[in-house]
Structures are given as structure tokens and as C-alpha cells.
């Protein structure tokens, strides 16, 4: 049964264009409508990532059970409901509830779609396809703010429309990818039912790749939250283009470099590319001119671009096909948590010690990321002990 990869790619892109547009709109929307300051705006932005981090493992669990299609559709609907809720919210509390709903929708959208796509992919090409499919999410996050700027006051209706389009694209697919009905489907469904207990929602093979991507996410979150403020505070300029430079470098490196994950392995790719981001973060901490700032920003984008497909490859190697939806969902949740932590923690460091120190701390997180990645075994080893072979009694041998 063929998997509608292109349709799913566009569906996830539409959903994350909606999500990315809200990231641009909220910092001015919250103060204008509710009178909140920087803390209220930051909370409104970050709380959605909390819901996304919590929702991904459950979306992956349902995908493993054969429910990818309805979960992805539900994700688009929840994103639309969350967008409409943000438009109509009469106070900040209900706005935050709407943000939680939208974050949960985004978790369902991507974390159920990716296992669906990988289910029809050969193991040798999973790293490459995961990297390219992830461009739907990252492309939406990068281009969504541009759409918000272009449409102005109509942004919330555009958000709702994009989210509904995402759900419609999946709802009109010709077939359900459920495991039931395929050879071995009933056995796989029973396997997925066994992970109802919470401890089973954290597969053992996810811990090291999850820590790797979480530390890299802290680097990414520092750039996203503090780079513009760092350049303005230093009087360097180019603060109006650096995030676009980062996004372009990130997306190009992801598109071109994803095949390297399948060729050299996730561990090698993560350990060799993240050092570029470390150098870039130190450069941004010490930068005194616009050229250095732009070059280091682009280098940071290149250095962080391949961490996600590399960690997917490491995760799938570690779990060896057991509950891939849950495993990828949990691993990606570490990314959300890292980005969510970078804003307030990096902001606190910048407020107390300066922006340079905040970027140096992010560089230290990048170094920790490399050290953790190097702890991942180079060879895939199954985390489940194989069942011992059954001994067939010898009829000629006395018992």
C-alpha cells in the first residue's frame, strides 16, 4: 500500500505555516489586546511548545497502533480550533488555553505523519527521508512569520485556513495506513497496546538521542530568542536579516546534507556538524561587526541543520523497529523542551550577565551535545533480548 508522502508533506507544511505565523503575531498581539508585557508574550509563545512536547509521544503511540491518518487529521483540526481561539479569546487565560490546544495539534500533525511516511521506506533510506520530510515542519516555521507580516491584521483567519487545509489534505487521502489488515498487523496492534503504562512511553533507546537533540535545541532556541536582541544591544545592525539568513542556511543544509546520515550514520553526522554551531555561537558572542554576525549566523544554521535526521537515525537504530512512532515522538519532544528552556533561561542569563555570556552558555550546551552523541553506540544493537530458541525434544533421547 503506497504512502501519500507528498500530500502529507504539504499537509504538515500548511499546519506549521499556521504555527509559524502565530510566533510572529503574538509578541505584538498580546500587548495590544490584553496589555501584557514581555513575560506574557513569552509565556504565550512558549506554552505551545510545552503542549507539543507532551503530545508527541502519545501521537506516535497511536501511529504505531495504526491510527496515523485520524491522528493527523485531528492535529489539523486542533490547530484550527487553537487559531480561532486565539482570535476570539476575551482574556489572556483563554488565549493560553488556545495556545495549548494548538500546540497539541501540531504535535499530532507531525508526530503521526512521520511514522506513516517511514512505514513505507526502506531502512537504508530512513535518515534521508526523515530529513527531507522534516523540511515540511522547519519550512513552515521559517516561512510562517513572513506570511504573518504580509497579511497583517488578517493573520488569524489565515492561520485557521491553513490548519483546516492541512486536515482536508489528509482527510481526502484514498486509503488508511492502519496496520490492521496488513500481514502481521494484528500482532503489531497487540504490541502497541502493551505500551499503555507510562514508563513504556519512554523507550530505553531514546535517552541518548533525546539528550543530544535537546542540547542542540537549546542552541537553536538561543539563536531564535536572543540573536536579534544581542545584535541590537551591541549596535552591530543586520538584526532585520539574521533570522532569515539562519533559516536559509538551515534549510539548504538540511536538504543537501540529509543523505549523509544514511551514508555515515547519525552519530558521526551529529558529532561532526554540531561543532560548527559551537564555533558560530562563540563567534556571535564575540562579534563586533555585521559581516562576522552574518557569517556566524549562517554557520550556526548549517551546524544545527542535520541534528534532527541524525537523531532519528540513532533512535531507530537503537529501538530496532520497536514502537518507532513513540520513539520518534519522545525524541522530538526533547527538541521542544530544549527550545522552550532556551528562551527564559537564556534571557535570565542575558539579563544578569549579558548577551555574550548567554551565547557562551549555548556554546557549552553544544559541546555537551557532541559529548552525548559520542556515547551512542556506533553499531545498532537491539534493546530487546531475543527469545531463546525453543528446544525440540528428541524422540530418541530418554527424558
Q: Three-state SS string across the chain, please?
A: CCCCHHHHHHHHHHHHHHHHHHHHHHHHHHHHHHCCCHHHHHHHHHHHHHHHHHHHHHHHHHHHCCCHHHHHHHHHHHHHHHHHHHHHCCCHHHHHHHHHHHHHHHHHHHHHHHHHHHCCCCHHHHHHHHHHHHHHHHHHHHHHHHHHHHHHHHHHHHHHHHHHHHHHHHHCCCCCCCCCCCCCHHHHHHHHHHHHCHHHHCCHHHHHHHHHHHHHHHHHHHHHHHHHHHHHHCCCCCCCCHHHHHHHHHHHHHHHHHHHHHHHCHHHHHHHHHHHHHHHHHHHHHCCCHHHHHHHHHHHHHHHHCHHHHHHHHHHHHHCCCCHHHHHHHHHHHHHHHHHHHHHHHHHHHHHHCHHHHHHHHHHHHHHHHHHHCCCCCCCCCCCCCCCCCCCCCCCCCC
C-beta of residue 78 within 8 angstroms of C-beta of residue 105: yes
Return the ∠ at Cα 216 (arms to 213 and 222), rounded to 5°. Answer: 140
Using CB atoms within 10 A of its CB, is residue 44 exposed (0-12), middle (13-18) or buried (19+)? buried
Kindly report whether the global pTM for this prediction surpasses the value 0.85.
Answer: no
The radius of gyration of the chain from alpha carbons, rounded to an integer in Å, stands at 22
Return per-residue pLDDT of the chain as tens, 399 residues. Answer: 477 888 899 999 999 999 988 877 887 788 888 887 656 776 787 788 888 888 888 888 888 778 888 999 999 999 999 999 999 999 999 999 999 999 999 999 988 888 888 776 666 676 677 777 878 887 888 788 778 878 888 999 999 999 999 999 998 875 555 543 344 443 444 444 444 454 455 666 788 999 999 999 999 888 877 887 788 888 998 887 887 788 888 888 988 888 888 888 889 999 999 999 999 999 999 999 999 999 999 999 999 999 988 998 888 777 665 566 677 778 888 988 898 888 778 878 888 888 899 999 999 999 999 999 999 886 544 444 344 444 444 445 444
- End-to-end, the C-alpha distance of the chain in Å comes to 50
Match 485520524 to its residue by C-alpha cell.
70
Q: Encode 287-312: b = buried (16+ Cβ within 10 Å), e = exposed.
A: beeeeebbbbbbbbbbbbbbbbbbbb
Amino acid at each position: 500500500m503506497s504512502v501519500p508522502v507528498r500530500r502529507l508533506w504539504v499537509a504538515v507544511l500548511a499546519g506549521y505555516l499556521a504555527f509559524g505565523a502565530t510566533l510572529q503575531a503574538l509578541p505584538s498581539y498580546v500587548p495590544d489586546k490584553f496589555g501584557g508585557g514581555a513575560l506574557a508574550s513569552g509565556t504565550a509563545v512558549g506554552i505551545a511548545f510545552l503542549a507539543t512536547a507532551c503530545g508527541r509521544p502519545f501521537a506516535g503511540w497511536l501511529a504505531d497502533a495504526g491510527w496515523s491518518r485520524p491522528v493527523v487529521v485531528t492535529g489539523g483540526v486542533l490547530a484550527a480550533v487553537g487559531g480561532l481561539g486565539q482570535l476570539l479569546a476575551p482574556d489572556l487565560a483563554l488565549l493560553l488555553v488556545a495556545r495549548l490546544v494548538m500546540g497539541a495539534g501540531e504535535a499530532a500533525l507531525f508526530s503521526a505523519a512521520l511514522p506513516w511516511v517511514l512505514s513505507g521506506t526502506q531502512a537504508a533510506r530512513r535518515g534521508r527521508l526523515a530529513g527531507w520530510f522534516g523540511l515540511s515542519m522547519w519550512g513552515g516555521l521559517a516561512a510562517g512569520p513572513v506570511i504573518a507580516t504580509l497579511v497583517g491584521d488578517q493573520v488569524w483567519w489565515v492561520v485557521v485556513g491553513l490548519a483546516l487545509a492541512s486536515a482536508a489534505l489528509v482527510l481526502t487521502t484514498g486509503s488508511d495506513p492502519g496496520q490492521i489488515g496488513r500481514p502481521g498487523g494484528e500482532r503489531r496492534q497487540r504490541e502497541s497496546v502493551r505500551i499503555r503504562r507510562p514508563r513504556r512511553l519512554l523507550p530505553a533507546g531514546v535517552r541518548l538521542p533525546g539528550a543530544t537533540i535537546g542540547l542542540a535545541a537549546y542552541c537553536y532556541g538561543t539563536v531564535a530568542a536572543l540573536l536579534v536582541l544581542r545584535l541590537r544591544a551591541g549596535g552591530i545592525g543586520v538584526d532585520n536579516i539574521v533570522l532569515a539568513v539562519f533559516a536559509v542556511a538551515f534549510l539548504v543544509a538540511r536538504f543537501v546534507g540529509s543523505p549523509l546520515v544514511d551514508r555515515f550514520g547519525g552519530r558521526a553526522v551529529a558529532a561532526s556538524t554540531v561543532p560548527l554551531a559551537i564555533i558560530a555561537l562563540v563567534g556571535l558572542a564575540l562579534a563586533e561587526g555585521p559581516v562576522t554576525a552574518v557569517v556566524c549566523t549562517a554557520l550556526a544554521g548549517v551546524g544545527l541543520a542535520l541534528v534532527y535526521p541524525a537523531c532519528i537515525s540513532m533512535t531507530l537504530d537503537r529501538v530496532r523497529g520497536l514502537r518507532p512512532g513513540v520513539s520518534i515522538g519522545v525524541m522530538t519532544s526533547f527538541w521542544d523542551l530544549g527550545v522552550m528552556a532556551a528562551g527564559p533561561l537564556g534571557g535570565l542569563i542575558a539579563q544578569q550577565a549579558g548577551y555574550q555570556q548567554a551565547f557562551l552558555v549555548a556554546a557549552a550546551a553544544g559541546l555537551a551535545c557532541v559529548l552525548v552523541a559520542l556515547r551512542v553506540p556506533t553499531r545498532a544493537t537491539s534493546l530487546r533480548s531475543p527469545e531463546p530458541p525453543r528446544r525440540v525434544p528428541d524422540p530418541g533421547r530418554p527424558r
